């Protein structure tokens, strides 16, 4: 800068960063005109200048007739708006993509990244000082946090909340662990078509997310552990007054975050991710939680260290007694005090200095929640429902990039097991042969399903919960070792190895497993081994080279060209942070981000 420039700038202050309606003006080449035009249009909806001068709090509304897990979105939007108005802000709701598990083909995971792009770009495009993200069903919360992490404005997550449980012939039931259990009974001939139709009316007793510790509940708990929700925001069921009150508080807090410029990068620190990993293990959370947490971390330049997660698991018992690892449902967790009860118990293992959306640290919020009370849903560390973390990370020649197993939902007698591979080449092959009486299979075999990974299906569907072959189910077999490069619903259970990386569709060793090969699973040694020599595997790869799937156009083409493997969160490679700054947990990452 020349002396003249310095003299000319003397006494001048940088122009204030635009806020509210002045943010992100449309490019007409004349900023004054851009604001004039914007205000003219919004006034067409009846707004006054007094309203338009307030901080703008956007609300990402994911209500959709296709998404009953978000069926309370209209009430939540109304309550958030009330909170925003009470705190002096201007609420502006807008729609984004909404994804429901049972209404998305080929699988909701195929659309998670699209929803994250939608969320990020609408945050960037529209004027807002803070945003409330309303999410709940499995992929929605991760998609929203991924997008918001990339956009980096003050952000607060509002969970839609869990559904209520139903009752079937005197038994309490809820989606979706009981959906699978009753379907399994029907397949095994234990109940008839009339009964399976009856229970179909009871499994989902209200709007809201699945009532067990599936992926939605897992991500709700993770969002609170990350510091991204109001304290107590994870557990209130969708149709309760508590849920509506949390929504109102969320709106009010968003205004405060806008005033304090409490951007999401101040919350999504390595300490926050470490807390989320700890909570994932302690709640017996869905294996999908790892993939989503990895994707969210990748947006802020952090890698989840899977071996370290496994080490954390050895000192983090499962404390939460919820299905499928335990007995209870989300509404019971809420009645037991919700996340405050769990976090109080986990306190010695947590990074208490992590910042939250309230502007206070996680440790301060735990203290503010007060003392606990007698309850039977969150166990003490001295009396866990499972002695280690719910998820174990496996290594071996079958999964050079790692694989995982939800050990808390597996059968103890199968966790050290060697058996003969019974191979299915893809989901279609599985559907055609799994119930055939001619299938050569015993309860001691290991079912292997290929081509359901990120590129294989595509979208890494929750098809890793391979059904028990009909002839074994009828004989009373309840579990069998299963291996795939896919995912499974957090509501599922069994001795099931998932996320085998690299996947078979890109030529991972899984692609070259054949019927009759021997496979060894040792959860104790964290091993998944294909007992075939490296030379033989190399020969098989030369004899049958894998041709990666492609598409001619559109989103599927983008997906197949850019999707990463499970160990990178199945995010698109171009959506991750340009520079990775470290691993979580890890001292290097902490220095870089804390």
Give contact residues for ligand FES (rule: CB under 6 A): 69, 100-102, 137-138, 176, 209-210, 214, 216
Question: Measured from the CB atom, is 47 or 183 closer to ligand FES?
Answer: 183
Rounded least distance, CB 70 to ligand FES, Å: 8
Three-state SS string over 352-387 comes to CCCECCCCCEHHHHHHHCCCCCCCCCECCCCCCCEC
Quick one: 209 or 294, whose CB is closer to ligand FES? 209
Strands 56-61 and 90-95: parallel
Q: How far is the CB of 489 from ligand FES (least distance, A)?
A: 8
* Sign of the torsion angle spanned by Cα atoms 423, 426, 431, 432: negative
Instruction: State the alpha helices, DSSP H only, in 19-108.
Output: 31-43, 49-52, 73-86
**Tokens representing residue 296 in the block:** 């969210």
Nearest-approach distance from CB 406 to ligand FES, in angstroms: 17
Give whichever of 26 and 102 is closer to ligand FES, judged by the CB atom: 102
Q: Residue 457: which of 491, 481, 495, 429 has the closest Cα? A: 429
Distance, in Å, from the CA atom of 133 to the CA atom of 156, rounded to the nearest integer, reads: 6
Closest CA to 74 of 84, 59, 87, 88: 59
- Evaluate whether 325 touches 336 at the Cβ level (below 8 Å): no
Nearest to ligand FES of 69, 492 (CB atom): 69
Q: What is the smallest separation between the CB atom of 204 and ligand FES, expressed in angstroms?
A: 9
- Using CB atoms within 10 A of its CB, is residue 589 exposed (0-12), middle (13-18) or buried (19+)? buried
The residues near 79 (Cβ < 8 Å, ≥ 6 apart) are 244, 245, 247, 248, 251
Rounded Cα gap, residues 185 and 157, in angstroms: 38
Min dist. Cβ of residue 314 to ligand FES (A): 30
Residue 180 C-beta: closest distance to ligand FES, Å = 12
Question: Is 313:384 a contact under the CB 8 Å cutoff?
Answer: no
Q: Which is nearer to ligand FES, 165 or 568 (CB)?
A: 165
Q: How many CA atoms lie within 13 A of 436 on its CB side?
A: 11
How far apart CA 106 and CA 500 sit, in angstroms, is 20
> In the block, which residue shows the tokens 């691993």?
583
- C-beta closer to ligand FES: residue 119 or 316: 119
Shortest Cβ 77–ligand FES spacing (Å): 19
Whose Cβ is closer to ligand FES: residue 199's or residue 210's? 210
Find out whether 142 and 148 touch, Cβ atoms under 8 Å.
no
β-strands 166-168, 171-173 pairing: antiparallel
Q: Between 75 and 411, whose beta carbon lies closer to ligand FES?
A: 75
Phi and psi for 529 in degrees, rounded to 5? -125, 135
Alpha-carbon distances of 71 from 166, 206, 265, 332, rounded to whole Å: 17, 9, 30, 21
To the nearest whole angstrom, how small is the minimum distance from the Cβ of residue 209 to ligand FES?
Answer: 4
CB 455 within 8 A of CB 562: no
CB closer to ligand FES out of 98 and 253: 98
Whichever of 54 and 334 has its CB closer to ligand FES, that residue is: 334
Q: How far is the CB of 73 from ligand FES (least distance, A)?
A: 13
**In terms of CB distance, is 141 or 570 closer to ligand FES?**
141
CB of 238 to ligand FES, least distance (A): 10
Please state, as a whole number, how many other Cβ atoms lie within 10 Å of the Cβ of residue 318.
Answer: 27
**Nearer Cβ to ligand FES (137/523):** 137
Q: How far is the CB of 392 from ligand FES (least distance, A)?
A: 24
Judging by DSSP bridges, how do beta strands 582-584 and 399-406 pair with one another? unpaired
Q: In angstroms, give the least distance from the CB of 138 to ligand FES.
A: 5
């Amino acid at each position: 800068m020349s002396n003249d420039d310095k003299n000319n700038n003397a006494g001048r202050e940088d122009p204030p960063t635009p806020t509210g309606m002045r943010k992100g003006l449309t490019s007409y080449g004349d900023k004054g005109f851009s604001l004039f035009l914007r205000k003219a249009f919004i006034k067409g909806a009846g707004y006054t200048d007094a309203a338009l001068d307030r901080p703008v709090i956007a609300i990402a509304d994911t209500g959709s007739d296709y998404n009953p897990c978000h069926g309370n979105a209209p009430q939540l939007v109304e309550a958030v708006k009330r909170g925003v108005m009470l705190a002096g802000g201007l609420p502006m709701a807008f729609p984004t993509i909404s994804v429901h598990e049972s209404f998305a083909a080929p699988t909701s995971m195929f659309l998670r990244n699209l929803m994250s792009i939608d969320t990020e770009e609408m945050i960037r495009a529209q004027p807002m000082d803070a945003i409330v993200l309303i999410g709940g069903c499995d992929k929605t919360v991760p998609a929203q946090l991924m997008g918001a992490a990339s956009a980096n404005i003050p952000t607060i997550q509002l969970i839609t909340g869990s559904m209520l449980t139903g009752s079937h012939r005197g038994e309490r039931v809820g989606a979706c662990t009981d959906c699978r259990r009753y379907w399994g009974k029907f397949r095994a001939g234990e109940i008839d078509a009339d009964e399976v139709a009856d229970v179909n009316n009871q499994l989902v007793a209200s709007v809201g997310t699945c009532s067990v510790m599936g992926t939605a509940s897992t991500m709700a708990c993770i969002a609170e552990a990350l510091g991204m929700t109001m304290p107590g925001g994870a557990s209130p069921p969708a149709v309760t007054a508590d849920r509506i009150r949390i929504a109102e508080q969320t709106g009010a807090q968003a205004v405060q975050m806008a005033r304090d410029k409490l951007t999401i990068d101040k919350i999504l620190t390595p300490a926050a991710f470490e807390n989320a990993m700890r909570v994932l293990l302690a709640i017996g959370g869905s294996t999908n939680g790892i993939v989503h947490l990895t994707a969210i971390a990748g947006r802020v330049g952090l890698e989840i260290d899977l071996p370290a997660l496994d080490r954390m698991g050895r000192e983090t018992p499962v404390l939460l007694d919820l299905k499928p690892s335990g007995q209870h449902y989300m509404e019971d967790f809420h009645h037991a005090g919700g996340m405050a009860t769990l976090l109080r118990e986990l306190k010695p293992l947590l990074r208490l200095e992590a910042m939250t959306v309230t502007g206070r640290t996680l440790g301060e919020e735990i203290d503010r929640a007060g003392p606990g009370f007698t309850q039977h849903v969150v166990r003490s560390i001295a009396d866990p429902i499972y002695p280690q973390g719910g998820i174990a990370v496996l290594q071996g020649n079958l999964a050079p990039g790692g694989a995982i197993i939800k050990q808390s939902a597996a059968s103890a007698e199968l966790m050290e097991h060697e058996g003969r591979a019974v191979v299915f080449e893809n989901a279609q092959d599985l559907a055609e042969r799994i119930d055939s009486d001619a299938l050569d299979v015993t309860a001691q075999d290991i079912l292997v399903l290929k081509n359901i990974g990120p590129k294989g299906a595509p979208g890494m569907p929750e098809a890793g919960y391979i059904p028990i072959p009909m002839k074994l189910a009828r004989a009373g077999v309840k579990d069998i070792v299963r291996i795939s490069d896919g995912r499974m619903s957090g509501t599922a259970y069994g001795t099931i190895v998932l996320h085998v990386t690299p996947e078979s569709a890109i030529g991972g060793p899984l692609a070259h497993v054949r019927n009759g090969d021997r496979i060894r699973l040792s959860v104790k040694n964290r091993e998944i081994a294909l007992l075939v020599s490296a030379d033989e595997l190399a020969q098989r790869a030369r004899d049958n080279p894998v041709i990666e799937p492609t598409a001619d156009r559109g989103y599927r083409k983008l997906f197949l060209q850019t999707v990463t493997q499970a160990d990178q969160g199945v995010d698109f490679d171009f959506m991750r942070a340009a520079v990775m700054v470290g691993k979580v947990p890890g001292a290097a990452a902490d220095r870089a981000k804390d």
